[in-house]
Structure 1
Amino acid sequence: MSKLMGALAAVLAALAAPAGAARGAIFGPHVADCSPEAGRPAMLVQVTGFKSRTGLVRVQSYGNPKRFFEKGAWLERVEIPTPANGSVEICMPVPSSGTYAVSVRHDVNGSGKSDMKDGGGLSGNPSVSLTDLIFKRKPDPEEVAVHVGSGVVTVPVVLKYVQGGSVKPIRTAFR
């Protein structure tokens, strides 16, 4: 009976927690870099808003504001299979305190190539138009800048997908 009461108490505590309070599992090769014991600068990228739970998630970090999101200018790249549920948290270590940016791509079909079904997001969650995508316009570096000190900074990224003539989050997303 006491095991049942303990389980019931745990469920009630989870239900009482504020939305978003629960942390998902941290994925990727740098999990230890985001632990409090590491004492190193890092970004914990929290990705939400998945259209589906298929394919791959790729996170890239950038360190030079003049080259944010340029092809091949990333500092670190982590790619994982899309987890079956929950938010996706990926630890991205950085070399030192400073200003960084993050891009995320949800390769829905796992092809390794960008297509119109894929989703994406950037640190700072700037607005992106279909025209921006077509002409490969990058947001202002100030909009996407992440200031990292000596510890771990959480970077929320909400995925956006092409829907009709716009790019926006999925309303019934698989968080």
Structure 2
Amino acid sequence: MAMVGFMLGSGTASAGQELTNDLSQCTPGKGPAVLVTVRGIKEPSGNIRVQSYPAISSAWLAKGRWLHRVETRASAASMSICMPVPSEGKYGIAVRHDVNGNGKTDFTQDGGGFSNNPSISILNFGKPSVTKVAFEAGPGVTRITVNLKYM
């Protein structure tokens, strides 16, 4: 897998790193990391995918420009996902629920959401601007909640 570097503040991060949902990385004294509480999961089936991006418009939701990805089985209406980040700085988080686990986007079935829970519409194909999703991750564990929306 090719790695691409992004400058975030004083650190460099590699793009495209797939991680497991290791909640021990989001305990007191750890970090930098983001503890993402995903709420509104329609049913405990399929997969939940959480991706972090640097909060810059050229990278936000651009194919292959995510920093880290955690994919795990959907198991409850609300789940916690630990997303380590390379350094303190501004990030955006995208969450997708692939309800049937087929690895494809099924617009009539699958759900999604973003950090800061911006309102999304069909007119912009559900892609909010980076300014609406950007948040500051500190040196420890930053907590955010993403509320999933379904069609």
Task: Return the TM-score normalized by structure 1.
Answer: 0.70
String of CA shifts for 1:96-143, please: whole Å, max 9, x gaps.
Answer: 10000100000000000001210000001111111222xxx6322221
Distance in 1 of aligned mates of 2:48 and 2:110? 10
Task: Return the TM-score normalized by structure 2.
Answer: 0.81
Q: CA RMSD in A?
A: 1.4
Q: Structure 2 matches for 1:21-32, cutoff 5 A? A: 28-32=20-24
Distance in 2 of aligned mates of 1:125 and 1:74? 19
String of CA shifts for 1:53-84, please: whole Å, max 9, x gaps.
Answer: 1111000000141211111110000110101x
What secondary structure sits across from 2:123 in the alignment? helix
Distance in 2 of aligned mates of 1:151 and 1:64? 18
**Could you list the runs of 5+ residues in structure 1 that have no partner in the other structure?**
1-27, 163-175
Instruction: Indicate the percent of aligned positions where both proteins have the same amino acid.
Output: 48
1:106 to 85, 88, 97: 97
Aligned residues: 130
**What is the deviation of 1:32?**
2.0
Distance in 2 of aligned mates of 1:64 and 1:145? 6
Distance in 1 of aligned mates of 2:21 and 2:99? 21
**Could you list the runs of 5+ residues in structure 2 that have no partner in the other structure?**
1-19
Structure 1 or 2, whichever has the larger Rg, is: 1
For the structure 1 residues 64 and 124, does the alpha-carbon distance in structure 2 shift closer, same or farther, using more than 3 Å as the test? closer
- What corresponds to 1:69 in structure 2? 61
Q: Kindly report structure 1 stretches of 4+ aligned residues shifted beyond 2 Å.
A: none
- What corresponds to 1:36 in structure 2? 28
